[in-house]
Amino acid sequence: MEEQARKEKFQERIDKGEKIEPKDWMPDRYRQQLIRMMSQHAHSEIVGMLPEGNWITRAPSLRRKMVLLSKVQDEAGHGMYLYSATETLGISREEMIDQLLSGEAKYSSIFNYPTLTWADVGIIGWLVDGAAIINQTMLARSSYGPYSRAMIRICKEENFHKKQGYEMVATMAEGTPEQQEMVQESLNRWWWPTLMMFGPHDDESPNSAELLKWDVKQKTNDELRQSFVDRHVAEAHAVGLEIPDPELEFNEETGHWEFGEIDWDEFWNVIRGNGPMNRERMNARRQAHEEGQWVREAAEEYARKQKLKEEKAS
């Protein structure tokens, strides 16, 4: 009876729009859902550094290199915020990293595609970070306090990421015929995988109902995807780019762009580890983790010595 009463009280707090903080009572399922979603979000930020990182040494100018370096560094920071926010739910950083490296945890499908040309760096900033902004602006209102606050800080940086990407895309779209062709070819490769970032259709999304009930998210996967399409089709047309979807059509009545069906076989295939770059991404993460072992040991030894010093002093 007591558990039921606590769940009802918890739901009342959610319905009143109150923030749930780490020390508050919460249903185990709420905690598990947040650990799942937030840790996978953190993994996505860290793995997401790899595709663009591939181009840091080959940026076409010092300015582009500095901007790209800054963006990739931001993504690392986003991962740290999100791992720290997730630790408030009682899972350790080590457990989360183990879940990623063992393949147990997911990260966003979008990062399992190759970055084949420099235009991909602009398209990723514009589309992938554009998709992240749509999703994360909503998550900034999440019922879990630490997640919501992490999102507020991250969204500010994502806006810079999108602007630098769109500026690169616009520059190439107005550039030489080779640049125009390169940026259109890149858009053709990244458009559909970006739509997949928002997850399966609402009626095939096992987690959405609980996340909406508990105000972890306030919009469904399809609603977020539609917002993304409406905004980015207009931005593509503004710089003379074509969306690679023959079924794309503007509905005057609804005011929305209607679009074709996503290749869900590709989506689930990528999620199951069979995307173009899954193996490379995981090998890179495992290698980075192994190479970073000495840093973790040094930090632990330093902490141990500090603790001894404090104990002696007290």
Residue 35 DSSP code? H
Min separation Cβ 271 and ligand 3HC, Å: 5
Which is closer to ligand 3HC, CB of 206 or CB of 246? 206
Which is closer to ligand 3HC, CB of 33 or CB of 184? 33
Min separation Cβ 65 and ligand 3HC, Å: 19
Beta-bridge partners for 20? 144
Which is closer to ligand 3HC, CB of 29 or CB of 304? 29
Min separation Cβ 112 and ligand 3HC, Å: 9
Which is closer to ligand 3HC, CB of 172 or CB of 271? 271
The answer to whether 209 touches 220, Cβ cutoff 8 Å, is no
Min separation Cβ 196 and ligand 3HC, Å: 5
User: Using CA atoms, how far apart are residues 99 and 76, in angstroms rounded to an integer?
Assistant: 18
Min separation Cβ 193 and ligand 3HC, Å: 9
The answer to whether 2 touches 27, Cβ cutoff 8 Å, is no
User: Using CB under 6 A as the criterion, which residues of the chain lie in contact with ligand 3HC when the complex forms?
Assistant: 36-37, 40-41, 44-45, 48, 75, 78, 106, 108-109, 128-129, 132, 135, 158, 196-200, 205-208, 211, 221, 271
**Terminal CA-to-CA distance of the chain, rounded, Å?**
47
C-alpha closest to that of 99 among 46, 28, 27: 46
Cβ within 8 Å of residue 41, ≥6 positions away: 82
Which is closer to ligand 3HC, CB of 37 or CB of 169? 37
User: Using CA atoms, how far apart are residues 240 and 171, in angstroms rounded to an integer?
Assistant: 11
Min separation Cβ 61 and ligand 3HC, Å: 23
Alpha-helical runs (H) found in 261-292? 264-269, 278-291
Which is closer to ligand 3HC, CB of 172 or CB of 275? 275
User: Using CA atoms, how far apart are residues 25 and 3, in angstroms rounded to an integer?
Assistant: 11
